[in-house]
């Protein structure tokens, strides 16, 4: 069964419709607060474990499925593009981006009662939302409302977002620390130079973690929040590096003539994608760079590894069937299974 919803009533232009959008958003939030205060228990309408983006309906839509690929449900079901989904920490809400009005807006869908709010309702582009891992009401996102792009912090029910980053250049790709206190992000100094920064969620402390003339990208926190793994092309191609969360002790972990990208911490391992064998495959290694093991092996690309909540399964995107599909496998690379099995592209998996 598909969930079909209507967005707010504003047109492509007009400040008056913006005000109506804002008022409608406030109404939805007030209604949710009232219902919660009455201790009404809703039955979850849509259950699942993995959010993903699918183009099977002719445009980008947000889908939900269980870990085994069953119960694939279209959550957005519109004629516009919806993408960049993220889970709330309680697993009851989904935040995503829609281009319905020509700009990018961020929406929040409550899976318990099927309510939808326009979270940003601003004429500028708002995108790349990331829900706090500890606060089910806090979201960081990127907005160009102040210029090239900055990191903002906003909570449900509060429509006055706080600007966190203070760089004059474009800031993007925010990622929360596991304890919810810090956000690591990228600052684009030039087309060939991205640097890694972090800022606390109050916006009072901003730290530059890398400082060179190359691209430092793909930052990912260790489970304890003490280290950050990332990719850098400072030696001529992209390699995986690790550093302390304050930017000290930067150590190169991979050494080859091809690119290694998108590292993520998987328990006591680091999983990443590499094209060292001619196409993108997924590898794992110890946190010190030793014991590098190839987990996937086929002629097509395998990318975007993500760890599921049980800590034993990785979901990823593979093109081995002729289009992008979402697969799962054990952390040692065994039991690789196609979860989506559609003839259209499915990608951007986000496990709960």
| 266 found inside a domain | no
| 152 found inside a domain | yes
Q: How many domains does the chain have?
A: 1
DSSP letter string, 3-53: ---------SS-HHHHHHHHHHHHHHHHHHHHHHHTTPPPPPS---SEEEE
DSSP letter string, 148-180: S-EEEEEETT--SPEE----SSEEEEEEE-TTS
User: How does pLDDT run across 116-133, given as a tens digit for each residue?
Assistant: 999 999 999 999 999 999
| 196 found inside a domain | yes
Q: Residue 114: which residues within 8 A CB-CB, separation 6 or more?
A: 3, 5, 45
For residue 310, the model assigns a pLDDT of: 86
| 272 found inside a domain | no
| 142 found inside a domain | yes
User: How does pLDDT run across 209-231, given as a tens digit for each residue?
Assistant: 999 999 999 999 999 999 999 99
Q: Give the CA radius of gyration of the chain.
A: 20
Which domain range does residue 181 map to? 99-106+123-208
For residue 45, the model assigns a pLDDT of: 62
| 201 found inside a domain | yes
Q: Are 260 and 246 in contact (CB under 8 A)?
A: no
For residue 21, the model assigns a pLDDT of: 45
| 134 found inside a domain | yes
C-alpha to C-alpha distance for 170 and 163, rounded to whole angstroms? 13
| 39 found inside a domain | no
Residues lower than pLDDT 50 in the chain? 1-22, 24-26, 28-44
For residue 47, the model assigns a pLDDT of: 76
């Amino acid at each position: 069964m598909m969930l079909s919803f209507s967005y707010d009533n504003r047109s492509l232009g007009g400040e008056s419709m913006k005000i109506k959008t804002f008022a409608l958003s406030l109404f939805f939030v007030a209604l949710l607060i009232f219902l919660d205060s009455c201790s009404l228990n809703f039955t979850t309408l849509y259950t699942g474990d993995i959010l993903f983006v699918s183009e099977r309906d002719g445009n980008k839509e947000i889908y939900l499925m269980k870990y085994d690929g069953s119960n694939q449900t279209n959550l957005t079901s519109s004629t516009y593009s919806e993408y960049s989904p993220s889970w709330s920490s309680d697993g009851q809400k989904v935040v995503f981006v829609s281009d319905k009005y020509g700009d990018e807006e961020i929406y929040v869908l409550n899976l318990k009662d099927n309510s939808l709010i326009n979270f940003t309702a601003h004429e500028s582009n708002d995108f790349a939302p990331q829900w706090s891992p500890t606060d089910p009401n806090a979201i960081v996102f990127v907005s160009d409302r102040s210029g090239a792009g900055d990191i903002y912090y906003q909570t449900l029910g509060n429509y006055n977002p706080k600007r966190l980053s203070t760089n004059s250049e474009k800031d993007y790709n925010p990622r929360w620390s596991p304890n919810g206190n810090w956000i690591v992000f990228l600052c684009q100094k030039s087309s060939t130079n991205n640097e890694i920064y972090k800022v606390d969620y109050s916006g009072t402390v901003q730290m530059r973690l890398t400082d060179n003339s190359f691209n430092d990208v793909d930052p990912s926190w260790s489970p304890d929040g003490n280290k950050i793994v990332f990719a850098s092309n400072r030696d001529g191609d992209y390699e995986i590096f690790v550093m302390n969360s304050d930017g000290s002790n930067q150590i190169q972990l991979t050494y080859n003539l091809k690119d290694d990208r998108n590292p993520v911490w998987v328990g006591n391992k680091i999983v990443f994608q590499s094209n060292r064998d001619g196409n993108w495959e997924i590898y794992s290694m110890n946190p010190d760079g030793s014991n590098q093991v190839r987990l996937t092996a086929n002629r097509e690309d395998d990318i975007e590894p993500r760890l599921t909540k049980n800590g034993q399964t990785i979901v990823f995107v593979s093109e081995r069937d002729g289009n992008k599909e979402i697969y799962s496998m054990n952390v040692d690379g065994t039991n690789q299974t196609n979860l989506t099995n559609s003839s259209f592209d499915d990608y951007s998996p986000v496990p709960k």
